[in-house]
């Protein structure tokens, strides 16, 4: 099968691509324009070209030309090989209904399985009755509800920080925090596998972005040492759990390096909140470093079974973000329904640790099963269990074979992952049954052997 050119995978199941090179674009270079001009160019009155040179110039000067020339997605759809934007009709536990048939879903980030919990639904309904469907204003003006303040107090308490602030989306939170804190003379240090939202946030700030190879603590310290005579502040930002590899950040080493170089530390715990730590408080609790991490950033759209983002930290710093972050100030406030669901999820996480215990039982079942079959899981120790396939084309064929057998997974292709290291990203939640996970392992084994990924 010839490859039509795979479009890059979307980040973190809507959130999670890193840009491995300084020079790499967020998307792969587009194919050259076709020989025919799209009707919108000639019919718009922009030009009536009479030569090839004039034709090329017409394409170059039409802003929409690249969009009309982009055909890869349509080609994949026609071949039945587009893994993205697959519509789910219903969800129940570890299974979903797609195109009228039940499938085991392995790519969801609903780690504790709370999105279908009747208590969250009831809390959301009650908030809907009290506050309606929208705040219709920004937090800065008319959009602050008592629920915002209650949720922020509860988040600060849960993460053992003096204050917290909520955002209408996790991506928006990243943009708000980093753009507000990192100024023109400041320097921010990123693991190259950090989430895409963090990279875009760094670009929105006026500071300098310095990247180090994934998990390379020597490189991080070396870059901080190189910058020791430069003015401005220092901020080290890392994912707590990396969304593609499932690796846990080397937080103890990061904290030690930060101390030596007077740097602040921010952890993106989107995939760690509710999952890591004795109480589900994330990476800092997991390592016993809650008082050493300056800012804990996260999202409600995973273990907290809602939508939105948050940051917890020093009260003065949170207040600065509240009054200085333009993405926060100029965005409509998080609706009451989402906040009520997140509040209920926090309550359940505190009171019912068995959700997390069952999640980890499922993690061990899937991860150990994959390893015993010979799959490379990239050393993951978290609910994200990647399966390394390698070539893009083989990875897409692997995904399609899984799909045909009733396993809903997602491939991750460059630039979400390094070139030549495409993966099928799987993850488990507390609602998966042993039978469902065994079915996943059976299908993976058959497809892996068929495509020569395992022997």
Give me 263's structure tokens: 């740097």
The catalytically annotated residue of 148, 223, 286, 302 is: 302
**Contact (Cβ atoms closer than 8 angstroms) between residue 17 and residue 24:** no
In this prediction, residue 12 carries a pLDDT of 37
Classify burial at 437, counting beta carbons within 10 Å of its beta carbon; exposed 0-12, middle 13-18, buried 19 or more.
buried
Q: Are the C-beta atoms of 300 and 309 separated by less than 8 Å?
A: yes
Q: Is 195 a catalytic residue?
A: no
Q: Which helix (H) or strand (E) holds 201?
A: helix 196-204
What pLDDT is stored for residue 159 in this prediction?
A: 98
The tokens describing 131, both together, are 């506050």
350: exposed, middle or buried (Cβ count in 10 Å: 0-12, 13-18, 19+) = middle
CA dihedral 140, 179, 249, 294 (to 10 degrees): -60
Say what the pLDDT of residue 53 is.
67
Q: Quick check: is 23 catalytic?
A: no
- Is residue 263 classed exposed, middle or buried when 0-12, 13-18 and 19+ CB atoms within 10 A define those classes? buried
**Which of 108, 179, 243, 301 is the catalytic position?**
243
Burial (CB count <10 Å: 0-12, 13-18, 19+), residue 227 = middle
Closest CA to 114 of 328, 300, 293, 377: 300
pLDDT at residue 58 in the model: 63
Find all residues with CB under 8 Å of 58, minimum gap 6, and list them: 37, 41, 42, 46, 47, 49
**C-alpha 99: how far from chain center:** 26
> Would you state the structure tokens that stand for residue 438, as one six-digit string?
């065994």
Active site residue 355: no
Q: Which CATH architecture group holds 118-351?
A: 3-Layer(aba) Sandwich (3.40)
What pLDDT does residue 415 have?
Answer: 86
Q: What stretches in the chain show pLDDT beneath 50?
A: 1-49
Q: The domain 79-105+353-450: what is its CATH number?
A: 3.90.1150.10
Domain borders along the chain are 79-105+353-450, 118-351
Helices (H), 234-381: 251-260, 283-287, 315-324, 326-329, 336-351, 354-373
Q: Could you tell me the pTM of the whole model?
A: 0.87
Residue 236 pairs in a beta bridge with 189, 265
Going by DSSP bridges, is the β-strand pair 384-390/422-427 parallel, antiparallel, or unpaired? antiparallel
- Strand order of the sheet with strand 163-167? 163-167, 309-313, 295-299, 264-268, 234-239, 187-191, 208-212
Q: Considering only CA atoms, which of 244, 288, 190, 210 is closest in space to residue 387?
A: 244
d(CA 64, CA 83): 25
Query: Strands 187-191 and 208-212: what pairing?
Result: parallel
- The Cα–Cα gap between 446 and 405 comes to 10
Give the pLDDT confidence score for residue 301 in this predicted structure: 96
Rounded Cα gap, residues 424 and 455, in angstroms: 18
CB neighbours (10 Å) of residue 451?
15
**Res 60: pLDDT:** 74
Out of 271, 286, 344, 432, which one is annotated catalytic?
A: 271
Q: Given this model, what pLDDT does residue 190 score? A: 98
Instruction: Find residue 217's DSSP bridge partners.
Output: none
Given a contact cutoff of 8 angstroms between Cβ atoms, the answer to whether 196 and 26 are in contact is yes
């Amino acid at each position: 099968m010839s490859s039509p050119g795979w479009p890059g995978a979307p980040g973190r199941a809507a959130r999670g691509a890193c840009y491995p090179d300084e020079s790499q674009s967020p998307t792969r270079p587009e194919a050259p324009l076709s020989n025919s001009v799209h009707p919108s160019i000639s019919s718009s009155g922009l030009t009536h070209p009479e030569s090839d040179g004039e034709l090329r110039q017409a394409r170059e000067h039409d802003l929409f030309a690249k969009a009309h020339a982009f055909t890869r997605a349509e080609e994949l759809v026609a071949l039945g090989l587009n893994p993205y934007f697959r519509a789910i009709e219903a969800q129940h536990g570890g299974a979903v209904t797609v195109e009228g048939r039940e499938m085991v879903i392995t790519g969801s980030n609903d780690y504790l399985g709370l999105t279908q919990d009747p208590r969250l639904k009831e809390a959301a309904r009650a908030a809907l009755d009290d506050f309606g469907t929208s705040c219709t204003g920004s937090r800065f003006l008319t959009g602050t509800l008592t629920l915002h303040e209650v949720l922020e107090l509860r988040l600060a308490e849960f993460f053992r920080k003096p204050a917290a602030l909520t955002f209408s989306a996790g991506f928006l939170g990243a943009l708000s925090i980093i753009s507000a804190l990192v100024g023109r003379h400041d320097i921010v240090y990123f693991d190259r596998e950090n989430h895409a939202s963090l990279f875009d946030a760094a670009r929105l700030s006026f500071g300098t972005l310095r990247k180090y190879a994934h998990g390379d603590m020597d490189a991080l310290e070396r870059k901080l040492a190189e910058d020791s005579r430069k003015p401005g502040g220092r901020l080290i930002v890392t994912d707590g759990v990396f969304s593609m590899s499932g690796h846990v950040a080397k937080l103890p080493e990061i904290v030690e390096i930060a101390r030596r170089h007077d740097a602040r530390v921010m952890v993106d715990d989107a995939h760690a909140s509710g999952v890591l730590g004795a109480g589900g408080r994330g990476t800092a609790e997991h390592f016993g470093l809650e008082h050493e991490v300056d800012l804990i950033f996260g999202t409600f759209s995973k273990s907290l079974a809602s939508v939105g983002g948050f940051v917890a930290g020093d009260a003065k710093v949170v207040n600065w973000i509240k009054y200085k972050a333009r993405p926060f100030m100029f965005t409509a406030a998080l609706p009451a329904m989402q906040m009520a669901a997140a509040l209920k999820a926090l309550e359940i996480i505190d009171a019912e640790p068995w959700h997390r215990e069952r999640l980890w039982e499922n993690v061990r079942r899937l991860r150990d099963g994959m390893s015993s079959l010979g799959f490379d899981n990239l050393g993951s120790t978290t609910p994200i269990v990647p399966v390394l396939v390698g070539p893009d084309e083989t990875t897409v064929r692997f995904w399609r074979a899984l799909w045909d057998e009733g396993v809903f997974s997602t491939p991750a292709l460059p630039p979400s992952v390094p070139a030549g290291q495409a993966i099928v990203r799987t993850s488990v939640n507390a609602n998966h049954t042993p039978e469902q996970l065994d079915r996943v392992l059976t299908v993976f084994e058959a497809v892996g052997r068929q495509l020569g990924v395992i022997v």
